[in-house]
Amino acid sequence: MLTIVSASLSSSAAEGVYTIEVTGLGSYTSTTSKTGLLKVTDPASQNISASSAFTVTVDGTSKQITPSTSTLNALVEAINSDTSLNVRASIVNLGSTSSPDYRLALQSTTLGPVSIQLNDGSQDLQNTQVTGALATYKVNGIATEISSDSRTVTLAPGLTLQLLKQSTSGAQTTVTVSRSSSAVSNALSSFVTAYNVATEQLTKHRGEAGGALGGQSIITSLSQAMRELVFYSGGSGAATSMMDLGLTFDDQGKLSFDGTKLSSIALGDLLSFLGDATQSGFLKNATDTMNGLTDSTSGLLDTSISSIQSQLTAQDTRISTEQERVDNYRKDIERRMAQADALIASIEQQVLYVNGLFQAYLDSRKSNY
């Protein structure tokens, strides 16, 4: 199948079996500037016309373009910058390497016999080299051929095919759309692993030996959010809870997954329970829960981080203030001690002086006897 077509699916694709026969890949219309115009040997300084404005006409619809400079490079840039023209411009050398002859090449962006012309106000500048053709294919053996101006075609709602190669005449390629529970099983296994890791991390911040977030309300809020994910209920039929899909808790509070339960649930019941991220079901609930945690403006994590940061800032300010008070108190004590030391030194000097006087008095008394 991949040699003839490639398929891509959206979430709205339904199960089904289709056949397709690619009877023609189609082609693009291409034109090249005429012989006899101004010869361009340097597209950075020359152009195929001296005009400063040009008119591009595609399938009868005309639009004027004005290149930034009078060069072939600027003309190509001006055409390619306007996607509404539905053509792509390029430069091709029809001369030799030593004697180049650069021409303007235009190609339609859609398949089919598209008319393309470029006019400088006095003359048409392009010759058609290849007239394109529409892609054609047949579906489910119906004889009527379907035409397309693109090799990307919609085969059914949510099912898009890229036509890669023309089929052998009468040969049909089968495209089967089926849904497998393996992707859901793998996703649930990953969910269980992530849940258990998150639970272990939250547990580290509980109790007397809790980590840095011990006592913070965010631990309780995150645990509650995780429980809401696991214990979501909805849907109908055989799948109305995560436990119906094979999720269970062991005696340690860890989550595990039994894939055999999932394989026994009808596809419709599984899809009804899962829903999608924007409308309903488990996926919508999970998306809303996670957005409530991670939203950059109002999410619990960001607001909690901001709150903790504010607490830390306030604590740092308080520490700084207290440190300043302690420093001032220390300086005052040191000043008072210095004064006390000076006073003590002064008293010691006075004591020495008095002792000296007393000793002199004693000595004079002894000398009189």
Q: Which pLDDT tens digit goes with each residue over 133-187? A: 999 999 999 999 999 999 999 999 889 999 999 999 999 999 988 766 677 888 8
Instruction: Determine, yes or no, domain membership for 302.
Output: no
| Same domain, residue pair 230 and 161 | no
Contact 132, 114 (CB under 8 A): yes
| Same domain, residue pair 15 and 40 | no
Is the pLDDT at 61 greater than 90, yes or no? yes
User: 21 vs 112, 139, 161, 272, CA distance in Å?
Assistant: 19, 7, 12, 35
Q: What pLDDT is stored for residue 31 in this prediction?
A: 98
| Same domain, residue pair 155 and 69 | no
- The torsion angles phi and psi of 309, rounded to 5 degrees, stand at -65, -40
Contact 236, 269 (CB under 8 A): yes
The mean pLDDT of 16-20, rounded to a whole number, is 93
| Same domain, residue pair 194 and 290 | yes
pLDDT tier, 312 (very low <50, low <70, confident <90, very high otherwise): confident
Which range marks the domain in which residue 12 is found?
A: 5-25+134-177
| Same domain, residue pair 289 and 204 | yes
Closest C-alpha among 14, 18, 13, 2 to residue 146: 18
**What average pLDDT is seen over the chain?**
88
Number of domains in the chain: 3
| Same domain, residue pair 123 and 60 | yes
54 or 315: whose pLDDT is higher?
54
pTM of the model: 0.56
Instruction: Determine, yes or no, domain membership for 279.
Output: yes
| Same domain, residue pair 186 and 289 | yes
Q: Lowest mean pLDDT of 80-84, 149-153, 326-330, name the range.
A: 326-330
| Same domain, residue pair 126 and 142 | no
Is the pLDDT at 57 greater than 70, yes or no? yes
| Same domain, residue pair 20 and 146 | yes
| Same domain, residue pair 110 and 54 | yes
User: 126 vs 8, 34, 58, 67, 109, CA distance in Å?
Assistant: 38, 5, 12, 17, 17
